[in-house]
Amino acid sequence: MNEVLISKEEMQKVLKAVFLKYSFSETQALTLAKIHTESTLDGITSHGINRVSVFIDYVRRGLINISASPTKIAEMGSMERWDGNLGSGVLNALSATNGAISLAKEHGMGLVALRNTNHWMRGGTYGWQAAEQDCIAIMFTNTTPNMPAWGGKHNRLGNNPLVIAIPRKEGHVVLDMALSQFSFGKMENLHLKNELLPFEGGWDKNDHLSKKPKDIIDSGRAIPVGYWKGSALSMILDMLATLLSAGNSTYKIGEKESETAISQVFLCIDPNRFSDRDLQEKLINEIIAYTQDVDPIKKGDATYYPGERTMATRIKNKNEGMMVSSKIWNEVLALAR
């Protein structure tokens, strides 16, 4: 696969031009360019630079309303319900995260339930955002159906990414996990390299679990993390996102031609309410040190805390630039022209 080396500054400049060309405001274009660049910088290329053309396609098809901004539907003390009005998923999620942070700083805990929004790209973005503002966060989104519920043949669950973040001086702890074992992006990459998945990743057309990425891409049926356990977790997170936002469930999203008008939850906790931040930091550092004080199971392996490798990738890419597929980069350049 041909790749080009792109600096942070260059990517952000080009992306801003793309978003301006598609009629986003100066501020919106800058924010979107920043977020897509940061995701790529953090190594989540699939939801950074690689996703830009899909995003623009959504804008072109009118699935994303670029002039929409979220509106508050109801407020109940520390909880609020918002409507994303089908605006950009990134801008809506940034706004909802800020809302939940403000509520947490005021009340100790804060929750924003957001409906009728669009794909938030990398879920981790909002976990890092909350951690940067010294908040603990628990966030999740529903999606279009892309996994069967355990026991059934047909896709009925979303892979519903779950984000949990804890601020930490020496590097925030940020978990960002979809509830499918592998993303279709990962499976596509391995298929192109003619490699097998390390573990079964979904069902083939004959309803057998398979490690062959192509089999699963063709069937479109990914496996939930932990089989029946991830299936149940995905279902209940969809229920929570749907009922708290009074928005669309994975069921309703699946009835649409494209994944849009989805539901999300942003829950923040202000750790400063507890008057022992130094102790908290020490306790977290002890956990990290303990989990890392091990022999590797395979030579050269190591254990990491959630977010650790993201931060390492970020620093490396800031210094050295990002490797981007030439095909993708040319597509993005063409969008800017």
For its own copies, what does the binding mask look like between residues 141 and 180, x meaning CB under 8 A?
Answer: -------xxxxxxx-xx----x-x-x------x-x-x---
Among 3, 57, 195, 276, binds its own copies (CB under 8 A): 276
State the minimum distance, in angstroms, from the CB of residue 333 to its own copies. Answer: 35
Stretch that binds its own copies, among 9-17, 188-196, 298-306, 317-325 (CB under 8 A): 298-306
Q: Does 114 bind its own copies (CB under 8 A)?
A: no
Rule CB under 8 A: say whether 72 interacts with its own copies.
no
- Residue 147 CA to residue 141 CA, distance in Å, equals 15
Dihedral sign from CA coordinates of 44, 49, 54, 59: positive
Contacts with its own copies, 13-52, as mask; x by CB under 8 A: ----------------------------------------
Q: To the nearest whole angstrom, how small is the minimum distance from the Cβ of residue 23 to its own copies? A: 34
DSSP per position, 60-112: HTTSS-TT---EEEEEETTEEEEE-TT--HHHHHHHHHHHHHHHHHHHSEEEE
Q: How many Cβ atoms are within 10 Å of 170's Cβ, its own excluded?
A: 10
Kindly name the residue from 47, 119, 172, 191 that is annotated as catalytic.
47
Residue among 5, 304, 327, 334 that touches its own copies (CB under 8 A): 304
DSSP letter (8 states) at residue 180: B
Q: Is 116 in the site for its own copies (CB under 8 A)?
A: no
3-class DSSP state of 120: coil
Angle at Cα 322 formed by Cα 316 and Cα 323, nearest 5°? 120
Question: Is the Cβ of residue 257 or residue 293 nearer to its own copies in the bound state?
Answer: 293
**Which residues lie across from 271 on neighbouring strands?**
none
Q: Which two tokens stand for residue 65?
A: 């309303």
- Per CB under 8 A, does 305 bind its own copies? yes
Q: How far is the CB of 112 from its own copies (least distance, A)?
A: 12
172 among known catalytic residues? no
Residue 261 near its own copies by CB under 8 A: no
**How many angstroms separate the Cα of 255 from the Cα of each of 144, 150, 260, 311?**
9, 21, 10, 38
Sort residue 12 into left (φ over 0), alpha (ψ -120 to 50) or beta.
alpha
Enzyme catalytic residues: 47
